[in-house]
Amino acid sequence: MTYLCNDPTQFAEELIDGYVAAYRDTIVRVDGGVIRRQKTRSGQVALVIGGGSGHFPAFGGFVGSGLAHGAAMGNVFASPSAQQICSVALAVEAGGGILFSYGNYAGDVMNFNQAQERLRSMGIQVQSVVVTDDVASASAAERYKRRGIAGTLPVFKAAALAADSGKSLDEVYRLATAANERVRTLGVAFSGCTLPGAPEPLFEVTSGKMEVGMGIHGEPGLYRKDAPSADSLAEMLVTALLAEIPEVIGKPEHARIGVILNSLGTVKQEELFVLYRKIDQLLVLHGLTIVEPLVGEFVTSFDMAGVSLTLFWLDNELEPSWIAAVNSPGLRKGNVSAGTSLDDNSIGVVKIIVQSEMSKGSVASQAVAEIVFEALTAACHSIDEQQETLGYLDAIAGDGDHGIGMQRGLKAAIDVASQALEAKAGAGTLLKVAGDAWSDKAGGTSGALWGTILRCIGDKLGDEMTPGAVVVAEGVASALDGITELGRAQLGDKTLVDVLHPFSTALARAASRELSVADAWSEATDIAGEAAQATRHLSPRIGRARPHADKSIGNPDPGAVSMALIISAVNKTIAARCYK
């Protein structure tokens, strides 16, 4: 459990404050995360990494000389928002372009992709390497679906050395990609982890058992078995990883490898050494040469009792990056020459403004904006009431933070929407600025998706008219198109699309019969509720729940449930206001 916590919703912000205070000689805080204290050299590629908090030293701890130039730091177990990522990237960009690198999780992919497109629209070159080292999360034939866990560190180091050596963006991308192709990881856990403020862990493991193949966000493993002795565990991990030697390796019996034995939180260093003793013996027996192994905490999952083993298959290009000197809070080795330090007085705060201006709307649209604000408030109350249930559903095959993330996003949306009302903004502007705030403060998958939903509907409603049912239906259809393009989810994948798609269809059908907005929305609401419950029969095909499909079947998708809850809350607001 988390023993030291104030307000759980402020945990990530407070930990970053303390982290920067403890390492102010190495890092500097900017909006959205942290950057190196040393300036990026003019014309150099900048490496920007990122992910949710709760994994220290990943990801902020990997910022420093010899590693990343900056890290976007999201809320606990939630990806940073596109706004946060852009802010960090602009703080370190020096004319040579940006390389993004991060673990393969739906929310990270969505938000980093959005940030990449925004930066490209500013004329900045950006490429991305998504780390896929977790052998348990997909088959070898579908490596692109695998999660990124402790193998992110070798990829980051490869990219960092290439960037600091003055290589071009294409070369930095090539070497980071090569590192990702040569890294494999498998993890086990003896307990779940507990989010700050939560009364119990995301999953529990019976004494004497262990989970095999869990992720780093509190997801349970793929299967459970008796916990072995340290030597037997070493044999299991080594055997599994040697069964998947990268195809690019010529003669594996003569290969040189980097090794990471990583504690996921509460397995102590002494225990790791007992385990590593046998791992070393087994790898040497296979004829492998171990190069500068790392044993300790590198990518954690709060207080999870577990370990992971990573093998990094080296070659003449990649070995120098593995042994290169590093000076970061999370990893220090060798001597790094000091660069030019940033002056605290000249750093400033870098923030990307993506919110629409608070342009004044027509009197008619201002009236609609008031109803939209009331609908957002009602939606927030509905999510507040069901926050624990949403968290429970999410914890079955995910990380358990869906309810908290929805609360965080809605409250941010309401705060900004209130300012829009005071500025006499129209309904379209109110929805768009609310969507930007939701995306920025919530981060993660839900933040990216709901930010897109509100912006798309806002674009259709505009700031001049009183929209009828047809326009509202067009807005919802646009939102559906926006999130399917962003997240690539389709009907039947067990996501919120399984609610929004039938709801949109029913709303359009009702609007075509010239029903009022209130009547059309009401008619479609019943279908949304039924669709959310129907997801209990589906098997997840994308996202964090995909590796745990058997655990998910029989329970509705949390994103689908929260979508239905919000649709229902909006329905009650519209009915009460008699909006025709």
Q: Please check whether residues 194 and 321 belong to one and the same domain.
A: yes
Query: What's residue 391's pLDDT?
Result: 86
Residue 17 has pLDDT above 80, yes or no: yes
What would the pLDDT profile of 538-567 be if each residue is shown by its tens digit?
A: 988 876 666 665 677 889 999 999 999 999
- Has 217 been annotated as catalytic? yes
Residues 116-136, mean pLDDT to the nearest whole number: 97
Query: What's 423's DSSP letter?
Result: T
Q: Which of 217, 402, 501, 548 is catalytic?
A: 217
Instruction: Point out the domain boundary residue: 304, 319, 347.
Output: 347
Mean pLDDT (whole number) for 87-113: 96
Domain of residue 207, residue span: 8-347
User: In percent, how much of the chain has pLDDT > 70?
Assistant: 94
- Supply the pLDDT for residue 400: 78
Q: Share the mean pLDDT of the chain.
A: 92
Measured in degrees and rounded to the nearest 5, phi and psi for residue 327 equal: -135, 85
CA distance 158 to 329: 18
Same domain, 489 and 564: yes
pLDDT tens profile 31-70: 999 999 999 999 999 999 999 999 999 999 999 999 999 9
pLDDT over 80 (residue 353): no
Q: Is residue 353 part of a domain?
A: no
Model confidence pLDDT, tens digit, residues 228-263: 999 999 999 999 999 999 988 877 778 999 999 999
Same-domain check for residues 76 and 45: yes
The reply to whether 371 and 514 lie within a common domain is: yes
pLDDT in tens, 174-215: 999 999 999 999 999 999 888 888 888 878 888 899 999 988
Q: What is the mean pLDDT of residues 152-160?
A: 98
Report if residue 527 sits inside a domain: yes
Q: Are residues 420 and 544 in the same domain?
A: yes
Q: Looking at the predicted structure, is the pLDDT value of residue 388 above 90?
A: no
**278-303 pLDDT, tens per residue?**
999 999 999 999 999 999 999 999 99
**According to the 3-state scheme, what is the secondary structure of 321-383?**
HHHCCEEECCEEECCCCCCCECCHHHHCCCCCCCCCCCCECCHHHHHHHHHHHHHHHHHHHHH
Provide the β-strand partners of residue 68: 63
